A and B are shown apart, each in its own frame.
Chain A
Amino acid sequence: MTPRRLGYDGVVLAAPVTVPYERFSTRSAHWFLGRAMRALVESSGLEKQAIDGLCVTSMSLAPDTAIGMVEHLGFQPRWLDNVTFGGASGMIALRRAARAVQVGDAEIVACVAGDTNQTDSFRRGTAAFSQFGQDAVYPYGSGGPNASVALLTDNYMRTYGAELADFGRICVAQRANALGNPQALFSKPLTLEQYLKSPLIADPIRLYDCVMPCAGAEAFLVMREETARAEGLPFARLVGAIERHNAFPDDPVQDRGGWIVDREELFAQAGVTPEAVDFVQAYDDYPVIVFLQIEDLGFCGKGEAKDFLAGHDLTTTGSFPINTSGGQLSVGQAGGAGGFLGIVESIRQLTGQTVGTPVPDAKIGLVSGFGMINYDRGLSTGAALLAA
Chain B
Amino acid sequence: MTMDQRPHRNPALPPRRPTTPPILRSRFALGLTAAAASGRFALQECLDCGAIQYPPREACHCCLSDRLEWRPRDGAGTLLAVTCVRKPYETYFRERAPWRTGIVRLDCGVSVVAYLHGRCAEPPARVRVRACLDRAGRAVLAALPDKDVTDMTDDPLMREFSNSPKGRHVLVTDGTSEIGQAMAIAAAEAGAETVWVGASERWKAAPGFEALSTIPQVTLLPLDVTDTQSVDTLAGQIGGKVDILFNTAEFHRTHSALSRRGVETARVEMEVNYFGLLRLAQAFGPAMSARAAEVPTNAVAWVNVLSVFALANYPSQGTFSASKAAALSLAQCLRAEFRPAGLRVLNVFPGPVDEAWNQTELPPKIAPRRLAADVVRALEDGLEDLFPDPVARDWYERWRADPKVLELELTA
- Chain A positions near chain B (C-beta within 8 angstroms): 122-123, 126-127, 131-132, 134-144, 146-147, 150-152, 154-155, 158, 199-205, 249-250, 252-253, 375-376
Contact = CB atoms under 8 A, between A and B. Distances in A.
Nearest to A200: B86
A127 B89 CA distance: 9
A135 B87 contact: no
Interface in B116-164: 123, 134, 136, 138, 140
Interface stretch (B77-85, B213-221, B363-371, B401-409): B77-85
A201 B86 contact: yes
Interface in B23-74: 24-26, 29, 54-56, 61
B112 A136 contact: yes
B115 interface: yes
A134 to B, nearest CB: 6
Contact of A138 (B22, B61, B81, B86): B22
Contacts of B54: 136
A202 B85 contact: yes
B87 A146 contact: yes
A252 B29 contact: no
Nearest to B104: A252
A376 B55 CA distance: 10
Contacts, number: 121
A134 B24 contact: yes
B240 interface: no
8 contacts: A135-B56, A140-B99, A140-B113, A142-B93, A152-B81, A155-B81, A202-B84, A250-B109
B102 interface: yes
**Which A-B residue pairs are the 10 nearest by beta carbons?**
A141-B99, A143-B85, A150-B83, A136-B55, A155-B81, A141-B85, A135-B29, A252-B105, A123-B89, A142-B90
B101 A252 contact: no
A134 B138 CA distance: 12
Most buried by B among A122, A131, A141: A141
Nearest to A143: B85
A150 B86 CA distance: 11
Nearest to A147: B85
B127 to A, nearest CB: 13
B235 to A, nearest CB: 34
A256 to B, nearest CB: 15
A136 B110 CA distance: 13
B236 interface: no
B21 interface: yes
A134 B101 contact: no
Nearest to B78: A252
B83 A151 contact: yes
A140 B83 contact: no
B81 A141 contact: no
B85 A376 contact: no
Contact of A154 (B83, B93, B113, B134): B83
A202 B24 CA distance: 23
Contacts of A200: 84, 86
Contacts of A143: 83, 85, 87-89, 99, 101
Nearest to A375: B55
A376 B29 contact: no
B325 interface: no
Given A127-B22, A147-B85, A141 B101 contact: yes
Given A135-B55, A139-B25, A376-B111, 8 more contacts: A127-B89, A135-B25, A136-B112, A139-B21, A143-B89, A151-B113, A200-B86, A253-B80
B187 interface: no
A205 B140 CA distance: 24
A376 to B, nearest CB: 6
Contacts of B115: 140-141
Contacts of A252: 80, 103, 105, 111
B114 interface: yes
A154 B82 contact: yes
Nearest to A156: B81
Nearest to A201: B87
Most buried by B among A122, A143, A150: A143
Given A132-B55, A140-B114, A249-B61, A376 B87 contact: no
Given A139-B134, A139-B138, A253 B55 contact: no
A147 B83 contact: yes
Given A139-B22, A201-B86, A252-B111, A155 B55 contact: no
Contacts of B136: 139
A250 B108 CA distance: 12
B84 A155 contact: no
Contact of B123 (A122, A138, A158, A204): A158
A154 B101 CA distance: 12
A288 to B, nearest CB: 12
B81 A154 contact: yes
A151 B99 contact: no
Contacts of A139: 21-22, 25, 134, 136, 138, 140
B85 A151 contact: no
A315 to B, nearest CB: 30
Contact of B88 (A136, A142, A203, A205): A142
A158 B81 contact: yes
From B26, B114, B138, residue with most partner A Cβ within 10 Å: B26
Nearest to B102: A151
Given A142-B22, A202-B86, A136 B101 contact: no
